Amino acid sequence: MLQIRIHGRGGQGVVTAAELLALAAFKEGYFAQAFPAFGVERSGAPIQSFVRIDSETIITREQIQEPDILIVQDASLLHSEEVLFGVKKNTQLIINSPDDSATINRLLHNKILTKNISSSPATEIALRLLGKNIVNTVILGAFIKKNKIIKLESLLSAVSEKFAEKGQALINKNKAAVTEAYTYVKK
């Protein structure tokens, strides 16, 4: 079972990110589960969401204690205890940051190995393509490049399905955001 924990702030699409990722995994034929942990419901408050992907039915509902993959949508949260809870050296970190992996490794006092860190300037991409600091689709583009479990087409199809009621223009922008991050991140 692959366990993914996503951290960000209210308004950045943390909950939607989990839904998109799980939906894309479902489209690949996996069993998937996505759920949020709402804090106080206001913009800017730290929020977590969780994704499990497995080839068998998922029955547990505990919040993810030891993530295989940690997605951080806002680098200013990186030092909070909650974000680093249960993280090990081999945990994979996908982070929205203009800094490179080595710099983030130093900032984390080597809590996560440099080779397991993948950073992309998601805020810059989101502001340019979406006009807002909603980085969820951008960061997922980076995620699937690093992890071969979900194909780009499945994530794009999940984006189309999830945003269907919001109109084609928004779908196209988010697809472009996914694709740009996918192209940006090295394998």
Partner 1 sequence: MFTHHKTQFLEGARAVSLTIANIQPAVVSAYPITPQTHIVEDLAKFKAQGRATYEYLRAESEFAAASIVVGASAAGSRVYSATSSQGLILMLEVLYNASGLRLPVVMTVANRAVGGPINIWNDHSDAMAMRDAGWMMFFAENHQEAVDLHVIAYKLAEEFNIPAAVNIDGFILTHSFENVVIPDKTSIKKYLPTYKPALGTYLNPQKPVTLGAFFTPEHFWLEKKRIDEDLKHVLTIFPKNYQTWKKILPTPAPIKVSCDDGLTEYCGPKNPDTLLIAMGSVVGTIKEALKTDKNTGILKIRSYRPFPVNSLQKAVGNCKRVAVIEKAMSSGAYGPLYSDVSAALPGFKGVSSNHIVGLGGRDINIKTIKNIIKSAQRAQIKFW
Q: Applying CB under 8 A, which residues contact partner 1?
A: 15, 18-19, 22-23, 26, 31-38, 41, 57-63, 65
Residue 31, phi then psi, degrees to nearest 5? -80, 140
64: CB partners within 8 A, 6+ apart:
3, 4, 5, 50, 52, 86
Nearer to partner 1, 31 or 184 (CB): 31
Closest distance to partner 1 from the beta carbon of 127 (Å)? 28
Nearer to partner 1, 36 or 121 (CB): 36
Closest distance to partner 1 from the beta carbon of 98 (Å)? 32
Nearer to partner 1, 34 or 95 (CB): 34
Closest distance to partner 1 from the beta carbon of 163 (Å)? 15
**Rounded distance between C-alpha atoms, residue 104 and residue 118, angstroms:** 9
Closest distance to partner 1 from the beta carbon of 100 (Å)? 34
Nearer to partner 1, 15 or 125 (CB): 15
Tokens describing residue 176: 């472009």
Write the DSSP assignment of 96-138 as a string of letters. E-SS-HHHHHHHTTTSS-GGGEEEE-HHHHHHHHTSS---HHH
